[in-house]
Structure 1
């Protein structure tokens, strides 16, 4: 069974992904409150059909401590953040967590 990509964020953030074919998404307001963001993230983390959840990095600030800890330790699905200046080190760690190995590992 193949897993799907899901995206969480404002309508502006999710639109591009939806146009690219992502079918699972959760639109939240442009400045979401903690409850709204927690519910959207929890719903997609508990969806067995989702393998990757994409989220705008600044939206992590709107999560409660419990949900944020769950997001940071989740392997299936893995949460990938975009934007916010995370840099290649952050993306590298997300990929490493998702697949279990460091592709950029030096010999």
Structure 2
């Protein structure tokens, strides 16, 4: 069963998570985004020990088509985006996709 958290992003983004105890991370320097970020998403998505992947929402702009599709559709691991503009609006959808129900449903 997947239970670890992984973080993908710039060294500045991953450092806080590492200090909090996250052991799996992919640091991608700002000047190497693109293919390196694509490869990091693929590696982490294949890791069976990872259940949640945190990635900065601004980094989604650097992903090519296939890794972006992984981030958008993967259920296990679930990708959670943080930071940037509008990041809170998608969090509800990410939680709903991860657990299969809408906790905020008022019906």
- TM bracket (short chain): over 0.9
Matches within 5 A, 1:55-70: 55-70=55-70
**Runs (5+) with no aligned partner, structure 1:** none
Matches within 5 A, 1:25-104: 25-104=25-104
Which of structure 1's runs of 4+ aligned residues deviate more than 4 A? none
1:8-57 CA-to-partner distances (Å, cap 9, x unmatched) read 01111001000111000000012433210010110000000000000000
Q: What value does the CA root-mean-square deviation take over the aligned residues? A: 1.2
In structure 2, the CA distance between the partners of 1:64 and 1:6, relative to structure 1 (3 Å rule), is: same
Question: 1:32 touches 1:62 (CA, 8 Å); kept in 2?
Answer: no
The alignment's TM-score, normalised by the length of structure 2, stands at 0.94
- Structure 1 residue 63 displacement after superposition: 0.6
The alignment's TM-score, normalised by the length of structure 1, stands at 0.94
1-structure distance, mates of 2:32, 2:96: 29
User: Aligned with 1:6: secondary structure?
Assistant: strand
